[in-house]
Amino acid sequence: MRFTAFYITICKKAPLNKGGMLTERSVRLKFIELKKSLMSAPPKACYIASGDDAFVVRSAVNILNSLAGSMPDLNTSSFGKDASCSEIVAALLAPPMLADYRVVTVTDYTGELSKIKDYLSNPSPSSVLVFTGALTPNFNAIVKLAEPIDCNKLDAAYLAGWVVKKAASERAVVTREAADTLVEYCNRDMNLISNELRKLVDYADGETVEAETVRAMVTPEPDFKVYELSEAIATKNPDKAIRLTEALLSENNSAVSLISMLFSHFRRLLFVSLNPSSDTLASDLKVKEYAVKMAVRQAARFTPRRLKAIFDRLNEIDAAVKSGLCADKNALVTFVCETVAVG
């Protein structure tokens, strides 16, 4: 019971899903189901592609643009935030040329919506409207008439399979362990995964890409390194903990930002530790199931009391750094050393 007040605080401060647009529709078409849906039924009049992975958003737009056939220059139109409502509707009403559909993409739109809403009440059967990017709250009226596409980070297992298949399409071999490692190091960011995979395939030059190659050539994303740092603290491995801290600081990450990342990470672990049997951790924390599994696995290495002590210490350090009472880098390194020593 002593953690009741803290539990309430955790609930209120749970991180938001940065990419997911808040909508009135509870069901969103998953990106990995988009192609299948287009093969089994005509496209919807309007889609909203939103999520926290820009690569996935672009891929969704590319899939929808493929509806324009072999002459995309004639049958696709793109508009930005400053486009007029009339321009967008005019493009949608224009018939496609030598294709079944015309695709109109609008990014970061902030303009007036009434004419678009009127259009969607009786849309052209040969036009597809796609919204992407930041959308204003008044888009709820459009959401009711659209098909939202979930473009958040994809499941780790799916991404690892994608890596293996993508490499095979380029006549390269990547082991499943190497694919899993690459996905973890890139924090499931498809743009990073794609770029790093290209480098690995070029480097391998026909040889099989093993997990050791990934570890040697790919720099882990800060979020993954924070997870690894937490793991080093849990296992009382001071050498690894200091090495990871120095690596994070050498990558132009400020000590203040790293303290904030550690604060968020241990807050999540504490929440998981206090609610081990909850079936709603993903929705409570506003994260994917993969992130929950990682947190559950790591939280089991600590007691709730220990996590609370770490969290409180990070709070103290954050306040001391921001008030100028101590140097940020010294405070971070001291925290890591002290925490590993206590275990």
Which residue, 150, 178, 202, sits at the end of a domain?
150
Domain identity same for 242 and 172: no
My answer on whether 108 and 209 are in the same domain is no
230 and 195 in one domain?
A: no
Where does 155-303 have alpha helices with state H?
156-169, 176-185, 190-204, 211-217, 222-234, 238-250, 255-274, 281-285, 289-299
The pLDDT of residue 31: 94
Looking up residue 244, the CATH number of its domain turns out to be 1.20.272.10
Tell whether 196 and 263 lie within a shared domain. Answer: no
Q: Do 141 and 196 fall into the same domain?
A: no
Full domain range(s) for residue 261: 222-342
CATH code of residue 179: 1.10.8.60
Stretches where the chain sits below pLDDT 70 are: 1-27, 252, 288-290, 343
**Partners of 148 in the β-ladder:** 48
Of the residues 150, 171, 198, the one at which a domain ends: 150
For residue 105, give the 3-state DSSP assignment.
Answer: strand
* Residue 170 placed within a domain: yes
Is position 97 within any domain?
yes
Q: Are strands 76-79 and 127-132 parallel, antiparallel or unpaired?
A: unpaired
Residue 196 and residue 176: Cα distance in Å, rounded? 16
Give residue-wise pLDDT tens across range 296-337: 888 998 999 999 999 999 888 888 887 877 777 888 888 898
Whether residues 171 and 65 share a domain: the answer is no
For residue 329, being part of any structural domain is answered with yes
Token pair for residue 15? 């991180």
Q: Are residues 207 and 226 in the same domain?
A: no
271: left (phi over 0), alpha (psi -120 to 50) or beta: alpha
Q: Nearest 10 degrees: CA dihedral of 30, 33, 34, 36? A: -170
* pLDDT at residue number 205: 86
User: In this structure, are 254 and 322 located in the same domain?
Assistant: yes
Q: Are residues 295 and 267 in the same domain?
A: yes
| 260 and 273 fall within a common domain | yes
Asked if 112 and 186 sit in the same domain, the reply is no
Note whether 199 and 236 are same-domain residues: no
Question: At what angle are helices 328-342 and 222-234 packed, to 10 degrees?
Answer: 40
CATH number for the domain that contains residue 57: 3.40.50.300
Is 278 within a domain? yes
Q: How much is the mean pLDDT over the chain?
A: 85
Contacts 24+ apart (CB under 8 A), 176-182: 177/210, 177/211, 178/209, 178/210, 178/211, 178/213, 178/214, 180/156, 180/211, 181/211, 181/214, 181/215, 181/218, 182/214, 182/218
Q: Which positions ≥6 away from 254 have C-beta within 8 Å?
A: 328
Instruction: Say how many domains are in the chain.
Output: 3
